[in-house]
Amino acid sequence: MFKILLTHIQNKVDLTKEEKVELQSFFVFKKLRKKQYLLQEGETCKYISFVRKGLLKSYFLDEKGGEHINLFAFEGWWISDFNSFINQEKAVLNIDAIEETETVDAQP
């Protein structure tokens, strides 16, 4: 479940076996159905998510209800409303699954 994430991280930094085990304790695994929200505007973002499998989109809605996509997160990408996560403020973005998706979410 965490193999893809660990491989991604090890492309940047070498980890010992102990560090790999400890690192996994900071992440939770999540499955999303197609069109299921990872985050909705107005919520406070609690995770930074690594896309293990599937595809997510991040977008906001304008005053007329028009959708404006600012990011597609493919397998191996990170996604979040970073301002909401860092400052623990209400999210301005929506993030949902375009297809069945699996994420590994970093907890603070």
Give tens-digit pLDDT for 63-92.
Answer: 999 999 999 999 999 999 999 999 999 999
Q: Does residue 88 lie in a domain region?
A: yes
Into how many domains does the chain fold? 1
User: What's the CATH code of the domain at 45?
Assistant: 2.60.120.10
Could you write out the three-class secondary structure of the chain? CCHHHHHHHHCCCCCCHHHHHHHHCCEEEEEECCCCEEECCCCECCCEEEEEECCEEEEEECCCCCEEEEEEECCCCEECCHHHHHHCCECCCEEEECCCEEEEEECC
Domain span at 35: 27-106
Q: Does residue 41 lie in a domain region?
A: yes
pLDDT band at 3 (very low <50, low <70, confident <90, very high): confident
Tell me the pLDDT of the chain averaged across its residues.
94
Q: Does residue 12 lie in a domain region?
A: no
User: For the whole model, what pTM was predicted?
Assistant: 0.89
